[in-house]
């Protein structure tokens, strides 16, 4: 595949032996399947911080000075400052701005994206809360709020997996668009090509984004594009329900009204209904729609990324 998106990744997930115990957390799906369609840029914040391999394990602790990264066996040793310096070093890496997404190691006090254990200052074994975010993940989110982030554990969920990878490809197309000074027309076309994808995730956002794009010829494009991508990525991170997907499929079917025989139309309606009821995966009505659009091409529908959100070989629509 040409022009593979570049994903940042917690280094241990690629099988690199960088963990505190000299081990790794190799993830087959990431290296064997995603590896065919994405390039990876690996980072291990704790190794870059010079904490060594092996190293004493650390965890997040709620202290009077805020959340700190302390050694599990000795809370007197605080490595927060070392880690923060390493994080700044990673954020300054020339490839960071080229990443189209980031896969993070769950539960890590450095890389965990959510629900990381926070311990009380006096207790070293029992977490008092599971509400933390790893120090690196927090800094990454702050510096790149629109960058799609996901944890490897959540990639086992077909809906979350499809959502993340879909967002990565949208973000990559946005990065490509941003390589040249943007014009009002280019922004309108970008929005237009993603219309049904956005509709599947959030109808209200589609309306808001449409209103934003409508101002493209009359307002400052630089601030408008920043607001657009922020709202777009927020909209796409919402789950696309079967009801919303069914609505989009029905809209697309509308473009075929003048061409479909009665039996073909009935078959398509039934397929969409069966998908909405959970008897069929999304790939079935989409394949049927594409079949009819091959025979009756429509220039607007042909451009819709909803019908080709990611490489079909990843089979992400087969299990949602
Ligand atoms: S979770 Fe992050 S800090 Fe820990 S070993 Fe993996 S890459 Fe390094």
**Which atom of ligand 1 is least distant from the CA of 45?**
3
Determine if the peptide bond prior to 54 is cis (ω within 30°): yes
CA of 316 to the centre of ligand 1 (A): 27
Could you give the C-alpha distances from 7 to 140, 256, 289, 291, in angstroms and in order? 13, 38, 31, 33
Phi, psi of 7 (to 5 degrees): -110, 135
**Which atom of ligand 1 is least distant from the CA of 12?**
6
CA of 189 to the centre of ligand 1 (A): 40
**Which atom of ligand 1 is least distant from the CA of 18?**
5
Which of these, 76, 72, 27, lies nearest to 46 by C-alpha position? Answer: 72
Q: The pTM is what?
A: 0.96
**Which atom of ligand 1 is least distant from the CA of 105?**
1
Which of these, 208, 209, 98, 95, lies nearest to 147 by C-alpha position? Answer: 98
CA of 50 to the centre of ligand 1 (A): 13
Q: What is the pLDDT of residue 151?
A: 98
**Which atom of ligand 1 is least distant from the CA of 111?**
2
Q: What is the pLDDT of residue 3?
A: 87
| pLDDT values of the chain reduced to their tens digit, one per residue, 320 residues | 568 999 999 999 999 999 999 999 999 999 999 999 999 999 999 999 999 999 999 999 999 999 999 999 999 999 999 999 999 999 999 999 999 999 999 999 999 999 999 999 876 567 678 999 999 999 999 999 999 999 999 999 999 999 999 999 999 999 999 999 889 999 999 999 999 999 999 999 999 999 999 999 888 999 999 999 999 999 999 999 999 999 999 999 999 999 999 999 999 999 999 999 999 999 999 999 999 999 999 999 999 999 999 999 999 999 99
Distance CA 243, CA 241 (A): 5
| Pairing between β-strand 116-120 and β-strand 6-10 as defined by DSSP bridges | unpaired
Place of tokens 């220039």: 299
Q: What is the pLDDT of residue 7?
A: 98
Alpha carbon 109 to its chain centroid, in Å, reads: 21
Q: Which residues' Cβ are closer than 6 Å to ligand 1? A: 10-12, 18-19, 44-46, 105, 108, 110-111
Q: How many CB atoms lie within 10 A of CB 215?
A: 13
9, 18, 140: residue to mutate for ligand 1 pocket, most atoms within 8 A of CB = 18
CA of 57 to the centre of ligand 1 (A): 11
């Amino acid at each position: 595949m040409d022009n593979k998106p570049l994903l940042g990744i917690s280094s241990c997930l690629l099988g690199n032996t960088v963990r505190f115990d000299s081990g790794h957390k190799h993830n087959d799906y990431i290296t064997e399947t995603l590896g065919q369609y994405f390039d990876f840029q690996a980072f291990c914040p704790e190794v870059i911080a010079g904490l060594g391999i092996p190293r004493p394990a650390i965890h997040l602790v709620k202290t009077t000075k805020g959340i700190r990264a302390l050694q599990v066996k000795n809370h007197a040793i605080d490595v927060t400052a070392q880690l923060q310096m390493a994080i700044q070093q990673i954020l300054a890496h020339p490839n960071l701005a080229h990443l189209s997404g980031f896969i993070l190691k769950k539960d890590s006090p450095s890389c965990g994206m959510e629900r990381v254990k926070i311990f009380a200052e006096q207790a070293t074994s029992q977490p008092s809360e599971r509400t933390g975010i790893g120090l690196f993940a927090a800094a990454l989110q702050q510096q790149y709020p629109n960058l799609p982030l996901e944890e490897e554990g959540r990639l086992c969920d077909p809906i979350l997996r499809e959502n993340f990878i879909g967002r990565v490809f949208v973000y990559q197309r946005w990065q490509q668009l941003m390589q040249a000074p943007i014009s009002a027309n280019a922004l309108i076309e970008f929005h237009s090509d993603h219309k049904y994808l956005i509709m599947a995730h959030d109808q209200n956002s589609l309306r808001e984004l449409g209103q934003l794009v409508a101002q493209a010829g009359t307002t400052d494009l630089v601030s408008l594009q920043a607001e657009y991508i922020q709202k777009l990525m927020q909209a796409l991170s919402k789950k696309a329900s079967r009801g919303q997907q069914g609505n989009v499929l029905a809209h697309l079917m509308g473009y075929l009204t003048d061409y479909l025989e009665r039996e073909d139309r009935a078959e398509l309606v039934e397929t969409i209904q069966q998908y909405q009821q959970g008897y069929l995966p999304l790939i079935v009505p989409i394949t049927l729609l594409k079949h009819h659009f091959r025979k009756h091409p429509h220039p607007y529908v042909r451009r819709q990324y909803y019908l080709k959100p990611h490489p079909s070989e990843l089979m992400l629509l087969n299990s949602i």
